Amino acid sequence: MLQQVRIAINQDTWVWIDGKDLGFSVASIKRWLRHTGNSDERFGFTWSKWVPIKCNIFMWRAFLDRLPTKMALLRRSVPVDNPICIWCETYDETIEHLLTGCGIAAGVWNGISSWCRIPGMVVFHVSDLVEMHEHYAISGNKKTVLHGIIIIACWRLWKARNEKMFSCKDTKVADLITDIKALGFLRYKHRFKRGVVDWERWCSFDLM
């Protein structure tokens, strides 16, 4: 390991790994990560560029099972009074159950399937959700938008879970679908480059 070491009288300095003299920068990290192939696809999750950052971060953590569900807290030796799902009160609360197995989640996915005019969404794992947009016969904007809608829906389900747990607020599937449509419309209209669409067309998923 020391064969390539050359001792000099110069003062030691920090050198950025890319070997350039420009020094450290966030941009250089991005270039280095892309060059080494360490991208979203390596982890199985692709971020959506038009949805809020908080939704992307949430979905990434859900994919890695890094959210503080009751069962996740128990695995970390955090005391939990009742590990049962706060909605169905039948199964243990895991991120898989909250986003795919609970009746509330199933109602949301049925509503989104109807809204987006796609076959019924059958999901069993979080990985199914992050890949769902790739398995339907849709293309162009619709595939990109569906990917973002699924991420927003998962974030809204988690928010509803927290509202139920900490504020005792009832969860209604119809209200969740309305919130998902509203947030998606605002982001699509103002952040998506080709998001010129009115509310009526958005509600019928009539996208170019």
Interacting residues of 103 by C-beta distance below 8 A, sequence separation 6+: 87, 88
Give the three-state DSSP class for 92.
strand
Contact criterion met (CB below 8 Å) for 38 and 57: no
pLDDT greater than 60 at residue 41: no
Tell me the residue length of the chain. 208
d(C-alpha 168, C-alpha 185), whole Å: 28
Lowest mean pLDDT among 21-35, 84-98, 109-123, 129-143: 21-35
Per-residue pLDDT of 140-199, as tens digits, reads 788 889 999 999 999 999 999 999 999 999 999 999 999 999 999 999 888 876 656 789
Q: Is residue 1 very low, low, confident or very high in pLDDT (cuts 50, 70, 90)? A: confident
pTM to 2 decimals?
Answer: 0.79
pLDDT greater than 70 at residue 88: yes
Per-residue pLDDT of 191-201, as tens digits, reads 876 656 789 98
d(C-alpha 29, C-alpha 16), whole Å: 10
Q: Is residue 17 very low, low, confident or very high in pLDDT (cuts 50, 70, 90)? A: low
Question: What angle, rounded to 10 degrees, do the helices at 141-167 and 103-116 form?
Answer: 150
Q: In the chain, what are the domain boundaries? A: 12-43, 44-203
